[in-house]
Amino acid sequence: MTTQYFGTDGIRGRVGEHPITAEFTLKLGGALGRVLTERMDERCMVVIGKDTRISGYLFESALESGLAAAGVDVLLLGPMPTPAVAHLTRSLGGAAGIVISASHNSFHDNGIKFFSAHGRKLPDSIQQQIEQQLNQPFTHAASEQLGKARRLDDASGRYVEYCKGTVAYGTRLEGLKIVLDCANGATYRIGPAVFAELGAEVIPIHHQPDGLNINKDCGSTHPDSMCQTVVESGADVGIAFDGDGDRVLMADHTGQLIDGDQILFALASARERNDQLNGGVVGTVMSNFGLEEAFRERQIEFARARVGDRYVHEQLESNGWTLGGEASGHILCLDRASTGCGIVSALHMLEVIASSGHRLADLVADMVKYPQVMINVPVSADARDALDSNEQVQRAVEETEQVLNGSGRVVLRPSGTEPVVRVMVEGREQQQVEQLARSLAQSLADHVQQGAK
């Protein structure tokens, strides 16, 4: 599907630059409202949540106005993790859910993400209808049909209880000391409450948002302070979320960072031991080759999707599986949540630690990560689209794969947000991988330069 505004995860950009402006967001709310009223032919309600960046106030008001103008009621949640908005949209009977967030980006950026009534990413067909409506004049419903807005005061408490209910009945975390990095984002209240109420000793860090410090040198994109605090405090585990709470990375008791691939391995292995895996596991084309090898040794089926939790979700559903994720920390446990949730995924991992009696380091020890090198090569849109059919580039890829001889992988992936192609090579030896990645990136750059002449 070709869209003008929607990317793989909603609409995102720099605040104040089109389309992330008050004017466009007002129109966007109106467009969604008209699509919903036409599809449902009845009065409906939309749930809106946001993260902690300062521009959330502006876009919350604009969306509320646009939806009300279309005759749609609005339920405002305030600062809430993205997965919490998905859950509450479904549990409160919303026709759709909206999250105002730019995820792991800095406060300068913001974005709009949508969920369906079922708490899942909005189908492409509805996104297309919204874009069609954006090209129409802004309209108002009759005065007696305008929408109303109200705030849900107990939204945080509802999601705290939901998260606690995703672990096995009777699970307690007494005896676990946890460092919790909330990225000064949407989990800053809910995260500490969930783990503390289950009995853990919680050391929260980066949990005082001021509208400008979201993701600033903290959270899953900057986990160094979390890892350091684990060592300094003698904690058992570190947990780091991103700004909107749908990603999670962890640290073991030594301060060693544990990424999404390793978390996925530990969860899948525990489920397989308990006969609860229900099929295989979905990763992405960027998942480490060591994860694939570890699953092969355990005879756990593994499939790769395109990069993006949306595509992992789609493949899980098509296969009838429940567990998947990305190295970046998007972990999907579809038998526990309708979308990826950092809190739920971390709880699942702590449940495994508590029930097995093993340290996190022991649970991931059998997955050996291969060295992985990625180089961004600037390319034009035309050159990027022609990669698959270019013989010179494909020959360079094949030659690289021959050198790896089945003990590694090569991926050329056009970025969805930047004019670059990401050249990724992984294998057993760091020096060889670095050399092969540089050589392949140079071949691609030479091809791009020749094509520009």
The whole-angstrom separation of Cα 187 and Cα 58 is 20
% the chain with pLDDT above 90:
83
Task: Say whether 103 is catalytic.
Answer: yes
All structural domains of the chain: 11-152 (3.40.120.10), 177-256 (3.40.120.10), 259-369 (3.40.120.10), 372-452 (3.30.310.50)
Annotated catalytic residue, options 55, 65, 103, 345: 103
CB neighbourhood size of 345 (10 A): 30
Q: Express each pLDDT in 59-68 by its tens digit.
A: 999 999 999 9
Does 19 sit behind a cis peptide bond, omega within 30 degrees of 0 on the bond before it?
yes
Asked whether 130 and 35 are in contact (CB, 8 A), the reply is yes
pLDDT per residue over 421-451, tens digit each?
Answer: 899 999 999 999 999 999 999 988 887 766 5
Instruction: Give the pLDDT score at 388.
Output: 67
Average pLDDT over all residues of the chain = 93
Stated as kind and residue range, the H or E segment containing 99 is strand 96-100
pLDDT at 420: 85
CA angle 265, 266, 271 (to 5 degrees): 100
Mind listing the pLDDT tens digit for each residue in 101-160?
A: 999 999 999 999 999 999 988 888 899 999 999 999 999 999 999 999 999 999 999 999
Helix, strand, coil percentages for the chain (3-state, nearest 5): 40, 20, 40
What is the pLDDT, as a whole number, of residue 379? Answer: 82
3-class DSSP assignment, residue 240: strand
Rounded to a whole number of angstroms, the distance between the first and last alpha carbons of the chain is: 32
Question: What pTM value is reported for the model?
Answer: 0.92
Choose between 420 and 435: higher pLDDT: 435
Amino acid at 335: D
- Of 30-34, 309-313, 381-385, which one has max mean pLDDT? 30-34
